[in-house]
Amino acid sequence: MAEIIRELISEKDVDDKIRELGEQISKDYEGKQVHLVGILKGASFFMCELAKRITVPVSIDFMSVSSYGGGTVSSGRVKIVKDLDDSLEGKNVVIVEDIIDSGRTLNYLEKVLRERGVESIRFCTLLDKPERRVVDLHVDYTGFRIPDEFVVGYGMDYDQKYRNLPYIGVVELQ
């Protein structure tokens, strides 16, 4: 089967939205430092661009988590594959995701990270599929709400391909 990528959100629209999110985070954390925690691998592209647009002091770290095992459907159980390098104690944390659907991963991480003594914790996502939510989760900073389609680009992949697309596209199998 061949794959066709249909553009869903243009590079310019993604760039404009990340700028808006950076401005809002800067305003909300004025006079403070913010610690961004990116969820690997997908959020790395988004988080780097977001960090460049935040005007308050920023520190960053990454985590890798899995709820899929070897399958394509979430198992519902979240496992930390790569933990943070630094302590979160007393920090204002913004967890950065590429896309949120069920909300299970962030719901789990919120509990785990609160136990580590954070000052505050908020969520930022480039893409949100709220109709897929299975847990109650408040997302503080949302780039785009999208339909329930399989998307790639800007860090998101299909079988490790298309992460490097500068726009958000939908995979259509031909």
pLDDT digits (tens, 9 = 90+) for 37-71: 999 988 999 999 999 999 999 999 999 987 654 44
With a cut of 60, say whether residue 130 has pLDDT above it: yes
β 3-9/168-173 pair status: antiparallel
Q: Pinpoint the alpha helices (H) of the chain.
A: 11-28, 43-52, 104-114
Q: Any residues with CB less than 8 A from the CB of 157 and at least 6 apart, and which?
A: 41, 42, 163
**Is cis: bond before 41, omega within 30 of 0?**
yes
The helix/strand/coil state of 66 is strand
Q: Which residues are catalytic?
A: 101
pLDDT band at 79 (very low <50, low <70, confident <90, very high): confident
What's the Rg (C-alpha) of the chain? 16
Q: Report the alpha-carbon distance of residue 34 to residue 14 in Å, rounded.
A: 22
Judge residue 105's burial from the number of C-beta atoms within 10 Å of its C-beta, 0-12 exposed, 13-18 middle, 19 or more buried: buried
pTM: 0.91
